Amino acid sequence: MRAGGQGEEGWRPDSAGIVAAARQVPSPNFDERPGGSLVELIVVHNISLPPGVFGGTGIIELFTNRLDPAEHPYYREIEGLRVSSHFLIRRDGEPIQFVACGKRAWHAGQSQWRDRSRCNDFSIGIELEGADDAPFEDAQYLQLANLVRSLGQAYPIADCVGHSDIATPAGRKTDPGPYFDWPRFRSLLKNSA
């Protein structure tokens, strides 16, 4: 499956870190990576706004600082939150890019991987529209495999982990959750290479 009719080349980030196969919705929530930082890690998350509701505009509004706190009671709890991710993969498989891969998105928070803290410095964050208590869609697994494979060809990626694997203190985050099928994802990644 290819988004927007893009071939394999459409998934490779260009020199600015933009993936042509993804719809571009720029987020203001990013900054420069520290000098010398290489992109070595991919972090998989899940998100739905309001929680457990799919298909709305809440995620895009959150990542672009346009979330209306009067629209839902939960939005009042996260009012003023400034977060982003490099990518979102919607339930239908649509990929959206918020931050160029060469920039630091604000997705991992307090985190540690292989004795290195501040994972935002050297990672790419990919959000899947979903929740801890719901299975992900076939299209999401396919698009995630396409994206991760292409990122691995463009950057020295050493690992792909869940947010729960790097969040500190341990147990602070649970995503992508128990319904994310890691063996299925890794099989797609391997078999489509």
Look at residue 171 in the predicted model and tell me its pLDDT.
87
Look at residue 134 in the predicted model and tell me its pLDDT.
96
Look at residue 112 in the predicted model and tell me its pLDDT.
96
* CATH topology (fold) of 3-191: Lysozyme-like (3.40.80)
* Whole-prediction pTM: 0.94
Supply the residues annotated as catalytic.
127
| Cβ(43)–Cβ(166) below 8 Å | yes
Tell me how far apart the 2 most distant CA atoms of the chain are, in Å: 46
Check residue 111 and report its DSSP letter. B
Block mean pLDDT (10 aa), the chain, length 193: 48 96 98 95 98 97 98 96 98 98 97 96 98 97 96 97 95 95 95 66
